[in-house]
Amino acid sequence: YVNKTMGAVMDLGRETDPLTRDDIVIYEHLATHLGSAYQNVRHAYTQDVSAKNSLHLLRTWQQLSKVYTSSEINHTIMKLASEITVVKHTLVWLYDEFKVDPIVSTSNSATYTVFQNLYKLGIISEYLNQFDPQLHPLIIWLGRSNARNIGELFQVMEGQQLVLVAIKDEARLMGCILVSSNSSEQISAEYISQLEGIAHAAGQTLERNTLISYKDRQTERLEAITRSIKDGIFFVTEQQDIVFCNPQFTELTGISPSNVLNNPVQSLLQKLADQSDQPEVAMQNLENALEQIMNEDLDQEYPIVEINIPSIDSHLYIEFISSSSESNSNEQHSWIGVLRSSDRIITTESQLS
């Protein structure tokens, strides 16, 4: 087809009836038509596989978006890889930072047993070392030089060809997908690409879940700290909504968290000002402090507003502290409000003295 050789047609003439030039012209036409037909079939096949791969990859992302533990991710990857037409058996393993042995999912128990034995003997590690620096898929054929010591794995996975695909993030190997081919066909480049798509989605999911877990742990620590200190604390997002306040905040202000959480910070400032003996002056001072924190000047100290609360015979000090890492006058900042009462300041000073 054009300049690409796809095959050949051969006709063996008899000695008593040799082929003529006219006969050969007929075969040339036949070969041309066969080349065009084969090219069309290959093109249609490639398009069909590509369309199926895209749909399968979409399902992969949809299913992985619903799982969060390593075991769930592992099992989901195993099922998705097993759905590929040319795949006979599948084994997936993931490394867990809290466990010595990898988390393994497989389509049959015999494969699991053989893999565990090979892993403990260090043979699996030898194959991982055959990956190139970019961790491209590794194709292993039964009987070839790169298939030493894993004949039993070929036997339980019932294939002549094994494909090992790395599950990775930007910096590390997180696990692998190992599949065998059906006896009737090999795993072509299109299907290996599909396996790589599943592995990529798995790597992104694991990285996402690691970040979520880290963020949750940090949030838990932060909440533990804010609940243990004597000051009232509230957090304000870039959208100027209140997302957290500790118990001491309610103790100092008498304002229930349910009345301010997920509401604009202006509503809280108004509630604080309304408790003052001079609500209008207090509100003006609070708005000035808010404007100062929004137009953050690193050369100035964070603003502190004093409000006299007659109902509790105390003064309330509210400090505005920016929590944004960068200052940009065109954007609003997240910030933290710290509340202290005058009687607690006096008590603290007397204890220190």
For 318-347, what is each residue's pLDDT tens digit?
Answer: 988 887 655 455 567 788 999 988 765 444
Q: Please, what is the angle between helix 279-294 and helix 265-274, to 10°?
A: 150
CA–CA dist 195, 189 (Å, integer): 10
Cβ(198)–Cβ(54) under 8 Å? no
Which pLDDT score, from 0 to 100, does residue 301 have? 67
Give residue 350's pLDDT: 42
pLDDT at 105: 93
Q: Considering all CA atoms of the chain, what is the largest pairwise distance in Å, rounded to the nearest integer?
A: 125
Residue 303 is predicted with a pLDDT of 85
Give every CB contact of residue 261 below 8 A, 6+ residues apart in sequence: 242, 243, 244, 245
Average pLDDT, the chain: 84
How many CB atoms lie under 10 A from the CB of residue 12? 5
Which residue in 317, 267, 322, 268 sits closest to 295, CA to CA?
322
What pLDDT score does 269 carry?
A: 92
Summarize pLDDT for 259-316 with one digit per residue, the tens: 899 999 999 999 999 988 899 999 999 998 888 888 765 456 678 899 888 877 778 8
Residue 190 vs residues 10, 38, 177, 329: alpha-carbon distances, Å: 31, 18, 16, 51
pLDDT at 328: 52
Answer yes or no: is pLDDT of 90 > 90. Answer: yes
Q: Regarding predicted confidence, which is higher, 52 or 245?
A: 245
Mean pLDDT on 99-112: 87
Share of the chain above pLDDT 90, in %: 28
Q: Please, which residues have CB within 8 angstroms of residue 134's CB and are 6 or more apart in sequence?
A: none
pLDDT band at 94 (very low <50, low <70, confident <90, very high): very high
Going by pLDDT thresholds of 50, 70 and 90, the confidence category of residue 184 is low
Mean pLDDT of the 117-140 span: 91
Instruction: Give the whole-angstrom CA distance, residue 139 versus residue 179.
Output: 10
What's the confidence (pLDDT) of residue 299? 53
Strands, sheet with 314-322, edge to edge from the N-terminal-most edge strand:
242-245, 232-236, 335-341, 314-322, 304-309
Please tell me the distance from the alpha carbon of residue 70 to that of residue 206, in angstroms, as a whole number: 8
**This model's pTM is above 0.95:** no
Residue 70 confidence (pLDDT) above 60: yes
Q: Around Cβ 255, how many Cβ atoms within 10 Å?
A: 18
The kind and range of the H/E element at 166 are: strand 161-168
Residue showing tokens 């096949």 = 45
The answer to whether residue 353 scores a pLDDT higher than 50 is no
Give, as one character, the DSSP assignment of residue 22: H
Scan for tokens 């590390």, then name that residue. 172
146: pLDDT strictly greater than 70: no
Which residue has tokens 């090999």?
186
Which has more pLDDT, 325 or 112? 112
Q: Do 323 and 226 meet the contact criterion of CB atoms below 8 Å apart?
A: no
pLDDT of residue 157: 92
Category of 94 on φ-ψ map: left (φ > 0), alpha (ψ -120 to 50) or beta: beta
